[in-house]
């Protein structure tokens, strides 16, 4: 018998940067991406039902007490191409959860670290200061985190709400 799964249980320290993970935080199941902030491993929380601190970082010290996570390396972001969900050529809004596509610099997710915002490169897992990126990005306000199972895409969740993506 064959088992199809979205990932595998791993110790947080062994999870590669940029990998999506799921873990328990209190009563919540949280989906996050592993990153580093000032050379310290961290996770940027993307989703959790009623989770109050989405698009904020959770320091690795949390994972010292709860090291096992469910690593999902094959998840991907699907971006809406609907004109209402894209901002092109206007002032950028670095609200948490927005994605920014910069030419030659990757796709970056805005999240909060302490009092300010920073960006997470969703391809590499690297945290990037807002002032370090150059050029005019395309800002995407609606996206989904998607997995492929049995050769079919499965939407795990859609940001900023549960409405399906529209493609124009």
Q: Do 47 and 31 meet the contact criterion of CB atoms below 8 Å apart?
A: yes
Kindly report which listed range (32-41, 110-119, 121-130, 150-159) carries the lowest average pLDDT score.
Answer: 110-119
Span 61-99, pLDDT tens digits: 889 888 999 999 999 999 999 999 999 988 877 889 999
Q: Which residue has the higher pLDDT, 38 or 73?
A: 73
Q: Do 56 and 111 meet the contact criterion of CB atoms below 8 Å apart?
A: yes
* Rounded average pLDDT over 105-120: 86
How is the chain split into domains, by residue range?
A: 77-143
Span 143-153, pLDDT tens digits: 999 998 888 89
Q: Are strands 28-37 and 20-25 parallel, antiparallel or unpaired?
A: antiparallel
Place of tokens 């970082």: 57
Confidence of residue 115 (pLDDT cuts 50, 70, 90): low
- CA-to-CA distance for 127 and 80, rounded, in angstroms? 23
Q: Name the residue among 63, 74, 91, 95 with its Cα closest to residue 160.
A: 95
* Rounded average pLDDT over 33-38: 90
Span 10-28, pLDDT tens digits: 999 999 999 999 998 888 8
Confidence of residue 46 (pLDDT cuts 50, 70, 90): very high
Angle at 58 between CA 127 and CA 108, to 5 degrees: 30
């Amino acid at each position: 018998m064959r088992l199809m799964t979205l990932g595998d249980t791993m110790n947080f320290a062994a999870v590669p940067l940029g990998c999506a993970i799921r873990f328990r935080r209190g009563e919540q199941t949280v989906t996050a991406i592993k990153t580093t902030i000032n050379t310290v491993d961290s996770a940027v929380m993307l989703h959790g039902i009623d989770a109050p601190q989405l698009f904020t970082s959770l320091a690795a010290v949390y994972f010292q007490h709860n090291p096992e996570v469910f690593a999902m390396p094959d998840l991907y972001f699907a971006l809406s191409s609907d004109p209402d969900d894209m901002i092109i050529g206007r002032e950028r809004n670095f609200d948490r959860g927005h994605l920014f596509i910069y030419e030659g610099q990757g796709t970056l997710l805005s999240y909060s670290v302490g009092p300010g915002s920073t960006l997470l490169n969703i391809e590499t897992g690297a945290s990037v200061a807002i002032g370090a990126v150059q050029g005019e990005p395309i800002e995407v306000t609606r996206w989904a985190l998607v997995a492929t199972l049995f050769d079919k895409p499965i939407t795990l969740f859609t940001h900023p709400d549960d409405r399906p993506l529209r493609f124009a």
